[in-house]
């Protein structure tokens, strides 16, 4: 009997690996899930490197101005220079293994759901690392690399702050950032879900008489003091008591308690991310274990390069 000519739906142009197209779909789903679940990816400075373990971010002081006396020689002003070094962390992975027998018995497709879950897991770890690092920087009041750059700050707004207290404090922080000559663009306020929903119920913030800034019925709010409001479940957690739940807690660089932080205020230039390996996925059939191992991975690191653009409001 003549053998059939099967159409290998996972093969590209009738050549190569039989699952080549499947891997592309899987990788695309992981990337889409990552982008959909991260809120911090566009709120930092990002640099890609092809080799090495760190990258330097320059810190440049301000140049002054003066009145010129006729005939006096203009010699130029001294400008202070410094740098902040951001190092690459260990490889961050999310993985799953699908046994052939289980997939054969199952009556629904699971690989798409696995890809969504893996992308979301990487996104949440990425966000949590940046948010935790920012909070640690603010609590420690870390200073910039040059004298012209100020320090990060943490403001205590009382153990049980009201929405009015939080909003008033946000306006005060916006004024403080103005006084430090921080750009008015790309300012963000990261809040926990509980704080976000309290802000949505503020009459002044969503009332159209004060400007179309959100919707009570849709549960949206856009800005306070010109700063975009961003909701994240990764603010308001304590790494120290959830080390098994949060993989980044194993890295002391990020481990901190953010449970009392009501709001994290950022200017985009404050944090930096260095990427050695962009988000990528691999899939391989293991004949010894009769199943498919799928891994999504990325290698990056985060650092505070301009601490004065980081401020926290703490309820304590």
pLDDT digits (tens, 9 = 90+) for 97-114: 888 777 666 655 677 888
The reported pLDDT for the residue numbered 47 is: 92
Q: How large is the average pLDDT for residues 297-307?
A: 93
Nearest 10 degrees: Cα torsion 245, 247, 249, 250: 130
Q: At what angle do helices 193-200 and 163-179 cross, to 10 degrees?
A: 100
Q: Is the pLDDT of residue 151 over 60?
A: yes
Q: How large is the average pLDDT for residues 13-42?
A: 72
The reported pLDDT for the residue numbered 212 is: 60
Q: How large is the average pLDDT for residues 222-240?
A: 87
Residue with tokens 């099967």: 6
Q: How large is the average pLDDT for residues 279-294?
A: 86
**For residue 147, how far is the Cα from the chain centroid?**
27
On whether the CB atoms of residues 237 and 231 are closer than 8 A, the answer is no
Q: What percent of the chain has pLDDT over 90?
A: 40
| Local confidence band at 9 (pLDDT 50, 70, 90 cut-offs) | very low
Q: Is the pLDDT of residue 209 over 70?
A: no
Length of the chain: 316
Sequence-distant contacts of 170-175: CB under 8 A, at least 24 apart = 170/224, 170/225, 170/227, 170/263, 170/265, 170/313, 171/224, 171/225, 173/225, 173/265, 173/311, 173/313, 174/225, 174/226, 174/227, 174/265
On whether the CB atoms of residues 190 and 262 are closer than 8 A, the answer is no
- Please tell me what DSSP assigns to residue 269: G
- Domains in the chain, CATH or no CATH each: 20-59+79-314 (3.90.1690)
SS3 238: strand
Structure confidence by residue, pLDDT tens digits, 120-142: 999 999 999 999 999 999 999 99
Neighbours of 10 (CB within 10 A): 14
Structure tokens at 8: 């290998």
Choose between 4 and 100: higher pLDDT: 100
Burial group, residue 66, by CB count within 10 angstroms (0-12, 13-18, 19+): exposed
Rounded-to-integer distance, Cα 277 and Cα 280, Å: 8
Bridge-based pairing of strands 271-286 and 45-48 is parallel
> How many Cα atoms occupy the beta-carbon half-sphere of 255 within 13 Å?
13
On whether the CB atoms of residues 167 and 262 are closer than 8 A, the answer is no
Choose between 8 and 182: higher pLDDT: 182
Choose between 307 and 292: higher pLDDT: 307
Q: What percent of the chain has pLDDT over 70?
A: 83
Rounded-to-integer distance, Cα 181 and Cα 279, Å: 35
Q: Is the pLDDT of residue 54 over 70?
A: yes
Chain-wide mean pLDDT for the chain? 83
Q: How large is the average pLDDT for residues 249-266?
A: 87
């Amino acid at each position: 009997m003549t053998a059939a000519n099967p159409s290998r739906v996972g093969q590209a142009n009738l050549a190569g690996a039989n699952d080549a197209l499947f891997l592309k779909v899987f990788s695309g789903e992981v990337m889409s899930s990552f982008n959909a679940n991260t809120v911090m990816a566009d709120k930092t400075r990002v640099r890609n490197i092809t080799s090495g373990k760190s990258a330097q971010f320059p810190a440049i002081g301000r140049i002054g101005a003066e009145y010129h006396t006729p005939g006096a020689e203009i010699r130029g002003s001294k400008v202070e220079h410094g740098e902040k070094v951001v190092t690459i962390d260990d490889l961050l992975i999310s993985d799953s293994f699908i046994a052939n027998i289980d997939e054969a018995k199952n009556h629904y497709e699971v690989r798409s759901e696995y890809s969504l879950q893996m992308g979301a897991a990487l996104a949440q770890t990425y966000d949590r690392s940046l948010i935790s690092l920012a909070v640690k920087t603010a609590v420690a009041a870390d200073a910039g690399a040059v004298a012209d750059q100020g320090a990060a700050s943490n403001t205590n707004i009382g153990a049980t702050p009201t929405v009015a207290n939080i909003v008033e404090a946000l306006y005060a922080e916006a004024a403080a950032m103005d006084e430090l000559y921080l750009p008015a663009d790309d300012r963000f306020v990261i809040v926990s879900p509980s704080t976000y929903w309290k802000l949505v119920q503020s009459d002044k913030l969503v009332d159209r008489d004060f400007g179309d800034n959100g919707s009570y019925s849709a549960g949206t709010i856009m800005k306070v003091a010109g700063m975009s409001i961003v909701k994240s479940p990764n603010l308001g957690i304590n790494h120290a008591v959830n080390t098994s739940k949060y993989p980044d807690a194993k890295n002391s660089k990020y481990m901190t308690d953010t449970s009392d932080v009501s709001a994290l205020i950022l200017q985009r230039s404050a944090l930096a991310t260095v990427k050695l390996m962009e988000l990528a996925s691999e899939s391989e059939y293991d004949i010894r274990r009769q199943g498919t191992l799928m891994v999504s991975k990325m290698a990056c690191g985060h650092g505070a390069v301009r601490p004065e653009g980081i401020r926290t409001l703490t309820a304590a």
